[in-house]
Amino acid sequence: MTTTAAAHPGAPLRLAVVGAGPAGLALALLAARELPRWQVWLYDARTLADDVSADPRTLALALGSVQLLRRLGAWPAAAAQPIAEVHVSQAPPGLPPALAGRLGGDGAVRIRAIDEAVPMLGAVLAYGALVAPLQAAWFDAVRAAPQRLASCYGHAVSAIRPLADGSVEVDAGVVERHDAVVVAEGGVFAQQARKALAHDYRQTAWVGTATLAGAGAAVAYERFTRAGPLALLPLPPAAADGGAAQRAALVWCVGNADDPVRELGDAQRVAVINSLLPAAAPRLLALSPLKSFALGLNAETTLVRQRMVRIGNAAQTLHPVAGQGLNLGLRDAYALVQALRGVASPAAIDRALARVEWARAPDRWGTIVTTDFLARSFTWTWPGVAAARGLALAALQAAGPLKSLLARQMMYGRR
């Protein structure tokens, strides 16, 4: 059975969103609210019986993303830990002591929300804590407008086919024809088919949860080490222990050829991490079992192909060093919906999508190039690379306007 897309003037346009993760749900909600002429269909292979609320994967969201989710009425403030400060530093060997003294710093950058006159730089929360309220908000929207919005959970999309008239077929058991399709279903690097721009960094990210002693709960730390970046992202207190213990999400990136993590026990891992962190960071008391993920760049050269748009990990999977993957996808979603607001006919869709491609290029490619450069730099073994990185960090800390510009890009993207 095939359902035909609207073709006569005044008929509603049809938008399919494939993937009900954070980016797909945010896009579907935005479209439901701001595109009244469009019918919105949301597809996901996951069934409604699957409970996503307990998924513990950690998400780091920039301030712009938090503001968007608040606008959608789906920001779980009680489950999120605001970030008041980001501390970025270079592990030894870094700056020579004499040079560090002349620069008035140790090769570290401290970006603070108070200096940027914002309530937070971003926030950290569990994947399930974000998807659950987004999904609930979407179901509320469907109940309020069932003639215009449709949930297709438990329907894996097996094919997406552009047609000669510009419309797109989506095959999820039943074939439906839509005026435009957004693919927001990406997965992780190791599970993806390779896109046009792909590079295996031959690095592994070890992730888990750390229990901390002392220090500020609202500070995120990133430490550039010889093996790769090590990050501690503040988490909300755990209800199970009455909120007494401070926790942080750990992201520890190392090279595959000489992995210093795999063969270590939990106590050894805690000791090594404590030796790598800067003096300003809290000490680790304990560490959960760690999971590992392969790291790579896997990106499409374009967001738009005919009337199919890719966002989030479906468009680009990035190294976590800059923490911009989901934030980039949410900015893609917002820009797409804004471009489609004035579209009243199928003929205008192509022009709107072309505008999205051009409008998103500076932010998208700037993020891809910067992240790729940082990820590759950890494989360089040339003498002086670490010292050069430390010098760059010290110079950035001393250059107030430049540091503020970087902070704004972290919070809102390039615009």
Quick one: 273 and 241 in the same domain?
Answer: yes
Quick one: 234 and 283 in the same domain?
Answer: yes
Spell out the long-range contacts of 71-76 with Cβ–Cβ below 8 A and sequence spacing 24 or more.
Answer: 72/26, 72/29, 72/30, 72/33, 72/134, 72/137, 73/137, 74/25, 74/26, 74/29, 74/130, 74/133, 74/134, 74/136, 74/137, 75/133, 76/125, 76/129, 76/130, 76/132, 76/133
**Based on the structure, what is the number of domains in the chain?**
2
Where does the pLDDT of residue 382 fall: very low under 50, low under 70, confident under 90, or very high at 90 and above? low
Quick one: 45 and 132 in the same domain?
Answer: yes
Q: Does residue 116 contact residue 407 with C-beta atoms inside 8 Å?
A: yes
Digit-coded pLDDT (tens) for 278-323: 988 999 999 999 999 999 999 999 999 999 999 988 999 888 887 7
Higher model confidence: residue 41 or residue 94?
41
Quick one: 47 and 87 in the same domain?
Answer: no
% of the chain with per-residue pLDDT over 70: 90
**Structural domain contains residue 185:** yes
**Structural domain contains residue 66:** no
Round to whole Å and give the CA distance between 19 and 286. 36
**Structural domain contains residue 231:** yes
Digit-coded pLDDT (tens) for 199-225: 999 999 999 999 998 655 799 999 988
**Structural domain contains residue 21:** yes
Quick one: 226 and 329 in the same domain?
Answer: no
Most confident range (mean pLDDT) of 21-30, 205-214, 368-377 is 21-30
**Structural domain contains residue 67:** no
**Structural domain contains residue 236:** yes
Quick one: 165 and 44 in the same domain?
Answer: yes
Quick one: 190 and 212 in the same domain?
Answer: no
**Structural domain contains residue 70:** no
Quick one: 46 and 142 in the same domain?
Answer: yes
Q: Does residue 308 contact residue 160 with C-beta atoms inside 8 Å?
A: yes
Q: Does residue 151 contact residue 95 with C-beta atoms inside 8 Å?
A: no
| Cross-strand bridge partners of residue 280 | none
Query: pTM to 2 decimals?
Result: 0.89
* Mean pLDDT of the residues in the chain: 87
Which of 18-22, 45-49, 90-94 bottoms out in mean pLDDT, i.e. has the lowest?
A: 90-94
Query: Region 319-344: what's the mean pLDDT?
Result: 90
Using alpha carbons, select from 108, 113, 59, 109 the residue that is nearest to residue 83: 113
**Structural domain contains residue 145:** yes
- The CATH number linked to 91 is 3.30.9.10
Quick one: 276 and 202 in the same domain?
Answer: yes
Quick one: 179 and 215 in the same domain?
Answer: no
Predicted pLDDT at 62: 95
Q: Does residue 171 contact residue 159 with C-beta atoms inside 8 Å?
A: yes
Predicted pLDDT at 145: 96
Question: For the packed helices 400-412 and 385-398, what is the interaxial angle rounded to 10 degrees?
Answer: 100
- The CATH number linked to 174 is 3.50.50.60
Digit-coded pLDDT (tens) for 146-188: 999 999 999 889 999 999 999 999 999 889 999 999 999 877 6
Quick one: 405 and 359 in the same domain?
Answer: no
Quick one: 205 and 120 in the same domain?
Answer: yes
Note down the domain range covering 227.
77-124+198-295+382-412
